[in-house]
Amino acid sequence: MEKSIFPLNYLQLGKKARVKDLISNGNTRRRMLDLGIISNTEVEALQKSPSGDPIAYSIRGAVIALRSEEASQILVEEI
């Protein structure tokens, strides 16, 4: 069975995924790389803000809040 690749903002709370690709450019891409969001990094969706955006993710031992627009540019595969 082949696993599907999808944008990070579709990852359900409490689930883990592995980063497969970044489709952002410029400053946004640089920020993601600086946060340690590189290929094969494990990410877990922790919780949503009361308004639903941003979402808190556990990335490399840190909790990072990403807006849906930013998370949609990170392609992941659920693990």
**Residue 45: its pLDDT value, please?**
96
Percent of the chain with pLDDT over 90: 76
Does pTM surpass 0.85?
A: yes
**Where do the structural domains in the chain lie, given as residue ranges?**
5-78
**Residue 1: its pLDDT value, please?**
47
Burial class (CB in 10 A: 0-12, 13-18, 19+), 63: exposed
Check if the beta carbon of residue 19 is closer than 8 Å to that of residue 37: yes
Neighbours of 72 (CB within 10 A): 16
The architecture of the domain spanning 5-78 is Roll (2.30)
Residue spans of the chain under pLDDT 50:
1
Residue 21 sits at the vertex; the CA angle it makes with 1 and 68, to the nearest 5 degrees, is 100
